[in-house]
Amino acid sequence: MKDWPLWEVFIRSKQGLNHIHAGSLHAADAEMAIENARDVYTRRNEGISIWVVESKHVKASNPEDQGALFDPADNKIYRHPTFYVLPDELKHM
């Protein structure tokens, strides 16, 4: 069981919402990963759908590239839609 691969688990909590990363777990194969995810991450009604993907298939950004990747967005406040005056009738924005 020590050689069971690691899986990333994504849970959709409600119809219409995205699957969101919930955590990771070990399992022998995809089928078992789904069952384990059901037992570990949906015990309190958290989900209606589960995705699993073996962690080794996730390509992650390199922490050293953080500056080049993310800093340029820092000083571009005009990308946030905060300069509009919203009409009163518009709710939930």
Partner 1 sequence: MTKKEALLKYTLRLADNASILGHRLGEWCGHGPVLEQDIAMTNIALDLIGQARNYYQYAAKLEAAGKTEDDYAYLRDPLDYYNLLLLEQPNGNFAHSIVRQYFFDIFHYLFLTALMSSKDKQLAAIAEKSIKEVTYHKKWSGDWILRLGDGTELSNEKMQTAINVLQTYVGELFLMDEVDEMMVKENIGVDLAPIKEEWTRIVQEHFTEAKLKLPDATWTQKGGKQGYHSEHLGYILADMQYLQRTYPGAVW
- Residue 35 or 46: the one with the smaller Cβ distance to partner 1 is 35
* Exposure b/e, 33-48, CB count within 10 A at least 16 = b: bbebbeeebbeeeebe
- Residue 21 or 66: the one with the smaller Cβ distance to partner 1 is 21
In the complex, what is the shortest distance from the CB of residue 69 to partner 1, in angstroms, rounded to a whole number?
34
In the complex, what is the shortest distance from the CB of residue 13 to partner 1, in angstroms, rounded to a whole number?
19
In which order are the strands placed within the sheet that holds 19-26? 19-26, 6-12, 49-54
Chain residues binding partner 1 by CB under 8 A are 1, 4, 25-28, 31-32, 35-36, 39-40, 43
